[in-house]
Structure 1
Amino acid sequence: MTFLEINNIQKSFGDNVVVHDFDFAAQRGEFVSLLGPSGCGKTTVLRMVAGFERQTAGTVSLDGKDISQLPANQRNVGMVFQAYALFPNMTVAQNIAFGLKIAKRPADEIAVRVREMLDLIKLPALGDRYPFQLSGGQQQRVALARALAVRPKMLLLDEPLSALDAKIRVALRDEIRSVQRELGITTLFVTHDQEEALSISDRIVVMSAGRIEQIGTPFEIYNRPRTRFVASFVGVLNLLEGRITDPASGRIEVDGRELVVAGGFPKGQTGDAATLALRPEAITIGSGGEGANHLDGHVEEVGFQGSVVRIRVRCNDRMISLDSFNSRAAPPPERGTPVTLSFSHDVQVLEPA
């Protein structure tokens, strides 16, 4: 069931258009990430949903109600900011209770709700502490509890993990997802971290220059990028440019070697340029058996990354990255070793720019 509807919203600052015709709908209980580089407009979209920015055109509806013209304090959404924004002169409990006091809820109801929130964020014994007595991760949990305490219809998160170190960031993102699932609250999450978006989202909206590039599940975004931008921004990707030699049978020439693409090139003609996209884990060293594509080269670099070994192979003037699992029984090839790379005919073809 559609819960959040963003209909062709635009935002301009003077002559500068920062969001172009953003059109999207989220289902009740869905966790959606807005993913893109700095300056792509993702935070502006979030602020328009929250009511902190007024859209230049278009509408925003929540649970069937048009909230486009409502002020932020009447939209019933919870917001968590990158910089925590806790009140330094208030205790943890007082910070969590703030919105409830503004709403003039009874004192006994506030006390019960604060205890519930402290339990939810796994800080039941820290209600009397002040923000400066907490770690960054604990402060962000308190900010999350404060946003949820008023029982908002929707949760908005503006890069809430970017100020934390790597280990805390991973742990807290999992906790946020767990809390979101437990409460079943529709959530819009802004991030520039692709791993973050891929790991916790039901769907991802990839943005560039104020426009939507692609909407899809993490699986779709990673494995089936539709544009060159999505392909290059999300994960490591090898781009193979070539010329179509037989569109019907999916044949394309890359660096003097004929490759085959399953499904052919229904939109291409003989002689057209085309770009293939290959993830590092889709490539193996060796012949690959019957029905595989092949490229020849030599090992240029080997990077040990723990459980994964990243190998870079030079094929003519092209550098190709591939990943293999670390195995104590099979050390990776040494630099300069000639190798044959193989990969399936099921190759992603990128849409022309």
Structure 2
Amino acid sequence: MSFIEISHLKKSFGPNTVVHDFNLSIEKGEFISFLGPSGCGKTTILRMIAGFETASSGSIRVGGAEMTHLPPAKRNVGMVFQAYALFPNLTVAGNIGFGLKIAGKDRSEIDARVAEMLELIKLPDLGDRYPYQLSGGQQQRVALARALAIKPQVLLLDEPLSALDAKIRVSLREEIRALQRELGITTVFVTHDQEEALSISDRIVVMNEGRADQVGTPSEIYNNPATRFVASFVGTLNLFEARVVDPATGRVSIDGQPVVTARDISTYGIADEATVALRPEALTLGGGEGDRNTLTGTVEEVAFLGAVIRVRVRLREARVSLDIFNDPALDLPKIGAAATVSFKKDDLLIIDRH
């Protein structure tokens, strides 16, 4: 049995159901991210695991124990909130030791654990400061230390980095992941930022309107999206409605141009429509040697994005974007020029009809 078992979980607020028959198994020590737009149900599930929301139906088991209707204080979970939620009248040390004090631990044990946590978050000399004297990144480290001080069996993180600037966000997410690996604690992380989820997760749950559209490793989610929603939400993607020409050989037509996919399309019939997708980085300007597919059109836009140059080519009705690594010596295509783009058969994704 998995460490966390969520079975047929449902949550409704009056007539509105925000989580529909949600099921998930999480292994001990695993780092799981819930990824999706605002209102998709990811935070509601996290709050039900914590006990801050009551499930309308279904069950939550942690370590084999039934947790569905237990109050938060009896679940032994640590939670870090988006807005830090530090007590302004307590010092850093007071905030970190708060849960231990409530649990009735003696002063020497609290002091030792607080010192250990301060070392863990690399703020050993800031125990006497108050939250207003810390930067945003430091405050979130303190919030993390407070959640970990009670030695929880599960760590829950509700968009903990969204209030920080980009550079601090990247460094702190790396610290969180390193700490999680060091402690081996089972962690559930909620975010709407696909880069965060892809960079630090063992597995990702992509949420859409209260349901899990896909659960998989970052590589599976990115390279083999199961639905149109996942394909469009995770990463940049070119989506086309293709016409199936020959299911047996994988031949389809994109905007009237024949191409071949290595993916299985045997469930489709001739002339059926199939949603197909191409990542911008899978496309090359020019080429077509060997068994590479080609599409021809006209350059419509060239955008400088720093590390990459994004080129958009208009086919007939459809448009396709491709990324080229930035090179000062690169001879960029001119807007209005004829262009050929090529890609491997393996790179043409088929998005399931559901």
Using the size of structure 1 for normalisation, the TM-score is 0.98
1:256 corresponds in structure 2 to 256
Seq. identity, %: 63
1:211 corresponds in structure 2 to 211
* Secondary structure in structure 2 of the residue aligned to 1:206: strand
| C-alpha RMSD of matched pairs (Å) | 1.0
CA separation in 2, counterparts of 1:50 and 1:40? 18
Shift of 1:288: 3.0
2:160 corresponds in structure 1 to 160
2:78 corresponds in structure 1 to 78
CA separation in 2, counterparts of 1:189 and 1:327? 37
2:51 corresponds in structure 1 to 51
2:137 corresponds in structure 1 to 137
2:352 corresponds in structure 1 to 351
Shift of 1:289: 1.2
Shift of 1:109: 1.0
Which of 140-149 and 291-300 deviates more? 291-300
Q: Which amino acid aligns with 1:296?
A: T
**Corresponding pairs, count:** 353
Shift of 1:301: 1.3
2:233 corresponds in structure 1 to 233
Shift of 1:142: 0.3
CA separation in 1, counterparts of 2:72 and 2:117? 23
* Secondary structure in structure 2 of the residue aligned to 1:169: helix
1:101 corresponds in structure 2 to 101
Which of 300-309 and 329-338 deviates more? 329-338
CA separation in 2, counterparts of 1:192 and 1:349? 25
* Secondary structure in structure 1 of the residue aligned to 2:345: coil
Shift of 1:61: 0.4
Shift of 1:329: 2.6
CA separation in 2, counterparts of 1:210 and 1:253? 34
CA separation in 1, counterparts of 2:208 and 2:77? 26
Deviations 1:162-192 (A, max 9, x none): 1111111111111111111110000000001
Q: Which amino acid aligns with 1:181?
A: R
Q: Which amino acid aligns with 1:149?
A: A
Shift of 1:100: 0.5
* Secondary structure in structure 2 of the residue aligned to 1:240: strand
Where does the alignment leave 5 or more consecutive residues of structure 1 unmatched? none
CA separation in 2, counterparts of 1:263 and 1:174? 35
Deviations 1:76-135 (A, max 9, x none): 000000010000000000000000001111111111110110111111111110000001
Shift of 1:327: 1.5
Q: Which amino acid aligns with 1:39?
A: G
CA separation in 1, counterparts of 2:27 and 2:266? 33
* Secondary structure in structure 1 of the residue aligned to 2:61: strand
Using the size of structure 2 for normalisation, the TM-score is 0.98
Shift of 1:328: 2.4
CA separation in 1, counterparts of 2:307 and 2:288? 22
